[in-house]
């Protein structure tokens, strides 16, 4: 129990974010289908956001840093609009291929 409490959440979640980035990179790189590339790309983005928020975390009793929070908030909206544009392009390509 004492050993577990020594885990620093900033380090744990920061590393988790970096490994999400790595997993997403793997999928974006090797998947052939575009929709699967987009899902993987979003996993990559989530990893970057998680690392930023982990770094902004300053412990149980301290308020976190609001600047990375604002960056991630805008990042989520930008990511979803980029995803929407990419998906419409993919649907358009598929429609064109079927015509």
Partner 1 sequence: MNLLDGLWGILDLLLVAVLLLLAMAAVLSSDRRRSMMLFIVFGLVLALVWARLHAPDIALAEAAIGAGLGGALLMATLRRDTHQQTDQFPQHPVVLWGAGVLVMVLGTMIAWGLFSVLPTVEQTWRKGAAVDAQLAFSGVSHPVTAVLLNFRAWDTLLELAVLLAAILGIRALGYVRSAYVTEVAFSQLAVWLVPLLILMAGYVLWAGAHSPGGAFQAGALLAGAGILLRLAGYSHAGLPTTRWLVRLGLVVGTGVFLLVGLGLLGWGQGFLHYPVAYAKWWILLIEMLATVSIGMTLTLAFMGGIPQKEAA
Burial class (CB in 10 A: 0-12, 13-18, 19+), 50: buried
Shortest distance, position 31 Cβ to partner 1, whole Å: 6
Q: Identify residues 63-92 at the interface with partner 1 (CB under 8 A).
A: 63-67, 69-74, 76-85, 87-92
Is 50 a binder of partner 1 (CB under 8 A)? yes
Q: Which residues contact 56 (CB under 8 A, 6 or more apart)?
A: 64, 65, 66, 67, 68, 69
Q: Is 48 in the site for partner 1 (CB under 8 A)?
A: no
Angle at 40 between CA 35 and CA 89, to 5 degrees: 30
How many Å apart are CA 64 and CA 96, to the nearest integer? 48
CB of 25 to partner 1, least distance (A): 5
| Min CB(41)–partner 1 separation in Å | 10
Query: Pattern of binders to partner 1 over 1-40, x per CB under 8 A?
Result: xx-xxxx-x-xxxxxx-xxxxxxxxxx-xxxxx-xx-xxx
Shortest separation between residue 49's beta carbon and partner 1, angstroms: 8
């Amino acid at each position: 129990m004492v050993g577990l409490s020594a885990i620093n959440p900033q380090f744990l979640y920061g590393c988790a974010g970096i490994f999400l980035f790595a997993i997403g990179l793997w999928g974006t790189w090797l998947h052939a289908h575009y929709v699967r590339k987009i899902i993987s790309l979003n996993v990559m983005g989530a990893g970057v956001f998680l690392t930023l928020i982990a770094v902004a975390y300053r412990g149980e009793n301290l308020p976190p840093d609001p600047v990375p929070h604002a960056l991630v908030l805008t990042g989520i909206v930008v990511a979803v609009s980029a995803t929407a544009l990419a998906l419409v392009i993919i649907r358009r390509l598929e429609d064109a291929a079927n015509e």
